[in-house]
Amino acid sequence: MRLGVVGPRPSRAELASDQIARNESADRLMIALARMVFDTMIPSEYAGSVAGNVPDANEHLVRRLFERAIGNALRLQLQPLEWRVKQGSRLSWPVIASTPRLSEILPGMQTDIELTQLGTGQRIVIDTKFTQIFTSSSYRSHILKSGYLYQLYSYLRTQERSDEPRSLDTIGMLLHPQTGEAIDEEMLIQGHHIRFLTIDLTGDAADFEKALRDIGTKVTQLEQSQPMMGET
């Protein structure tokens, strides 16, 4: 649910003074996201002197809030550096031929955040997932979730075009909230650099804002470098 709220805007000091119990991680997360709303990083179209998203324990709403917050933070930081930031870009399957009904049942593809460096043409696709980055199997306690990796891989490979060289080295990033240890891993696969990253949403306001800025820094690093390759 979204709601326009009329009334005095709470100060940053008031937000920072909210005391959240240690076991109330969901509340800590929503307070952190609320800070972004009140800092105008998440614009609202609704009337009122203060407007924002009202948390209702709806997973889809929180995921969209997380995605919008990351996208807007990147826009503020990267647009002055000649990056174009788009959210919710639809992609097309490179279908050459199909049966008549296929178009009715083929699922769509839509990126969360797509960045383009206007000077070089480098593209970066960021997929935000509001879940833990790891799952487990019978043999390993921590493995990346395969479905998310396959999805990002599909975004990268299906958009390759021989007449568009920069499509062959589009960069991908999977971005999750941090639960436990911080993750920052990367690989190079079939010409595409893919990075797996987490962001801590439960710290204080200053740490949280620094984490958002660090994502922008990592984006520019992705454009300029290849991943460190070790043993596999």
CA 126 to chain centre: 5
Q: What's the N-to-C CA distance of the chain in angstroms?
A: 46
Nearest one of 195, 180, 90, 176 to 128, comparing CA atoms: 176
Query: Residue 34 falls within a domain, yes or no?
Result: yes
Of the pLDDT bands very low, low, confident and very high (cuts 50, 70, 90), residue 20 is very low
pTM of the model: 0.73
Tokens at 232, concatenated? 């596999």
Residue 10: CA atoms inside 13 Å, Cβ hemisphere, count? Answer: 16
For the chain, percent of residues with pLDDT exceeding 90:
42
State which residues form the domain around 29: 2-224
Query: Residue 229 falls within a domain, yes or no?
Result: no
User: Is 70 exceeded by the pLDDT of residue 21?
Assistant: no
Query: Residue 232 falls within a domain, yes or no?
Result: no
User: Is 70 exceeded by the pLDDT of residue 23?
Assistant: no
pLDDT at 22: 42
Contact 119/135 with Cβ under 8 angstroms?
A: no
Nearest one of 101, 94, 81, 21 to 224, comparing CA atoms: 81
3-class SS at 174? strand
User: Rounded distance, CA 164 to CA 161, Å?
Assistant: 5
- Mean pLDDT of the region 156-172: 95
Of the pLDDT bands very low, low, confident and very high (cuts 50, 70, 90), residue 28 is low
Query: Residue 231 falls within a domain, yes or no?
Result: no
Nearest one of 77, 228, 93 to 158, comparing CA atoms: 93
Place of tokens 């920052």: 184
- Mean pLDDT of the region 6-23: 45
Instruction: Tally the residues of the chain.
Output: 232
Express each pLDDT in 92-138 by its tens digit: 999 999 999 999 999 999 999 999 999 999 999 999 988 888 888 88
Mean pLDDT over each residue of the chain, to the nearest integer: 77
pLDDT at 191: 94
Express each pLDDT in 45-92 by its tens digit: 333 343 344 444 456 777 888 888 888 889 988 999 999 999 988 999
Place of tokens 């299906």: 158
User: Rounded distance, CA 165 to CA 161, Å?
Assistant: 7
pLDDT at 113: 95
Place of tokens 């005095």: 8
pLDDT at 53: 42
